[in-house]
């Protein structure tokens, strides 16, 4: 059976959401953070980096949200609801771009902003200047691309929406989402989906 290693208050709830959307049976191990917000050492028993999400499936140990999403969709999305066919090379390329965008370009400036907010010493000017420019740049890019579509790539939920919802939720937590009403409405819609609510209930929020 699929086994998910989930670190509370973090990104891996969005992997659990994907699994719930796919309707899969799975086991869930939940790990707590330490006083500094980091994973405790017990998660290293699942993966040497001690980070999550991590899944185990049929002898495969897999980390990294984007890789996990691609694997789960390729293996278990038999109806092709969450990704275009690999035969549609251009559509699949756009799908892959947005799947990885949430892991790379979008996430890094938000992470830096989060870390700076936790600093008690004066903010390094260079890093704060970068985040103040880059966070609006990334959120504006997504806001414009999303437009009036209900989901990132059109009328239906697809693989990149799971990571993008995490990005929008993180921006909301950092109180930088208000200037982007379409993205704000998008994250509220997605987090009201039954599969997301099941994931929150299963993981304890």
Dihedral sign (CA 81, 155, 19, 138): positive
85 three-class SS: coil
H-assigned helices in 51-153: 65-76, 89-101, 107-117, 125-146
| Distance set, CA 108 to CA 103, 130, 184, 185 (Å) | 8, 11, 20, 23
Percentage helix, strand, coil, to 5, in the chain? 55, 10, 35
Rounded CA-CA distance 28/192 in Å is 22
In this predicted structure, the answer to whether residue 33 has a pLDDT above a threshold of 80 is: no
pLDDT at 43: 80
Residue 56's H or E segment, with its range, is strand 54-57
pLDDT recorded at residue 106: 96
- Give the pTM: 0.93
pLDDT of residue 36: 60
Q: Mean pLDDT in the chain?
A: 92
Q: What is the pLDDT of residues 34-59, one digit of tens each?
A: 766 666 677 888 888 888 899 999 99
Gap between the Cα atoms of 83 and 69, Å rounded:
10
Task: Report percent pLDDT > 90 for the chain.
Answer: 77
The vertex-161 CA angle with 137 and 108, nearest 5°, equals: 40
- In this predicted structure, the answer to whether residue 178 has a pLDDT above a threshold of 80 is yes
Ordered structural domains, the chain, with CATH: 2-81+195-203 (3.40.30.10), 89-193 (1.20.1050.10)
């Amino acid at each position: 059976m699929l086994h998910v290693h989930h670190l509370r208050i973090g990104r891996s709830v969005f992997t659990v959401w994907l699994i719930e959307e796919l309707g899969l049976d799975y086991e869930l191990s939940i790990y707590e953070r330490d006083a500094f917000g980091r994973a405790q050492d017990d998660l290293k028993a699942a993966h040497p980096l001690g980070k999550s999400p991590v899944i185990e499936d049929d002898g495969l140990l897999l980390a990294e949200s984007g890789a996990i999403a691609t694997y789960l969709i390729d293996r278990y999305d038999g109806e092709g609801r969450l990704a275009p066919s690999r035969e549609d090379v251009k559509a699949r390329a756009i799908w892959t771009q947005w799947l990885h965008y949430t892991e790379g370009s979008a996430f890094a400036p938000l992470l830096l902003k989060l870390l700076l907010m936790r600093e008690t010493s004066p903010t390094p000017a260079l890093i704060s200047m970068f985040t103040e420019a880059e966070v609006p740049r990334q959120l504006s890019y997504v806001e414009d691309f999303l437009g009036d579509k209900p989901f990132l790539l059109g009328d239906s939920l697809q693989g990149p929406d799971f990571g993008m919802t995490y990005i929008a939720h993180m921006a909301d937590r950092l109180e930088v989402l208000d200037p982007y009403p379409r993205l704000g409405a998008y994250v509220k819609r997605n987090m009201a989906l039954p599969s997301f609510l099941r994931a929150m209930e299963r993981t304890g929020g």
